[in-house]
Structure formats: structure tokens, C-alpha cells
Amino acid sequence: MPLTFGPRLRAFLDEPAPIALGTTRRDGSVQMAPIWFEYRDGQIWLNGGPRRDWFKHMQRDPRVTLLLVDPKNMFRWVQIQGRLAETTFDGADDHIDHLSMRYNGRLYPAPKVERMIVRIDPERVTGGENRQPWDVS
């Protein structure tokens, strides 16, 4: 059964801060990468190219961990463990423009490399705000 995020957590995820993406390398070590994201339709949407190391790791092992920390209050954070759900090239250029507007207030600069949308299904959430756990069901 998919997780449902409550209004406090959705509002936090709507703030334009990069998320740290953790994937597992072939040797079992973890790679962390800062990445733009958005929460949409119950999933975490990322945007990147198929040649990115983090995507190659996901293809081999679909488990990921995402960490978002409030830059003004490190005690307000969320860790989302999830799994690669799907990828698509359809709409990926429009999506990176959308993310660039969210983070930079302007369209993504040209030229755009081959891009795809990567969707993550959240499976577990930890962390909280003001010592209160996030509103997840």
C-alpha cells in the first residue's frame, strides 16, 4: 500500500531545497548526490540522464534513500526510503525546465542533454519537525 504524506510533510517537500540521493554502488558502498526533485502524484520525481552513475546504481539495485534537511533548521528533516518505480523520456525536457524554475526562477539553460524523469515510490519515512514525526499514513 503506498504511503500518503500529510500536509506538513507535503509543504516541507514543496520548499525549493535540493535533496540528497543515496544509491548503492556495485561494491556495496553508498553514493550520495545532491539533486533537484519534486513531490508529485505520491512519488518523488527526479530528472537526470541515463548515463548518470546514480541512475545506473538504481537500475541494478532499485532501493534509494533521500534526505532533505531544512537549511535554516537542521532538526527539521526527512529521510525517505523508497524504490525506483519507473522512468520515462516523455516530458523530461519540460520537467527539467519546471525544476529549474522552481530552484532558479528561469528555464534550464540550453543545450539539454538526454534527460529522463525518474519516479521513486516512498516506502518508509523518518525524521520530523519540532520533535514531531511527519504526518504519514
| Domain-embedded: residue 55 | yes
DSSP codes, the chain: ----B-HHHHHHHHS---EEEEEE-TTS-EEEEEE--EEETTEEEEEE-TT-HHHHHHHH--EEEEEEEETTEEEEEEEEEEEEEEEE-TTHHHHHHHHHHHHHSSPPPSPPPS-EEEEEEEEEEEEEETTEE--B-
Percent of the chain with pLDDT over 90: 88
Q: For residue 54, tell me if it sits in a domain.
A: yes
Structure confidence at residue 112 (pLDDT): 72
Q: What is the pTM of this model?
A: 0.93
Is 88 a residue whose pLDDT tops 80? Answer: yes
Cα–Cα nearest to 79, from 70, 89, 92: 70
Q: At residue 25, does pLDDT exceed 80?
A: yes
* Domain around 34: 7-87+119-128
The average confidence (pLDDT) of the chain is 94
| Model confidence at 1: pLDDT above 70 | no
Q: What are phi and psi of 107, to 5 degrees?
A: -65, 155
In a domain, 105, yes or no: no
| pLDDT tier at 33, thresholds 50, 70, 90 | very high
Question: By mean pLDDT, which of 34-38, 77-81, 126-130 is the weakest?
Answer: 126-130
Number of domains in the chain: 1
Q: What is the pLDDT of residue 96?
A: 96
Q: What is the pLDDT of residues 2-17, one digit of tens each?
A: 789 999 999 999 999 9
Residue 137, pLDDT score: 85
Any domain includes 103: no
Exposed, middle or buried by CB within 10 Å (0-12, 13-18, 19+), for 100?
Answer: middle
Cell numbers for 74, please give them: 537542521
CATH number at residue 64: 2.30.110.10
111 within a domain of the structure (yes/no): no
**Does residue 62 belong to any structural domain of this protein?**
yes
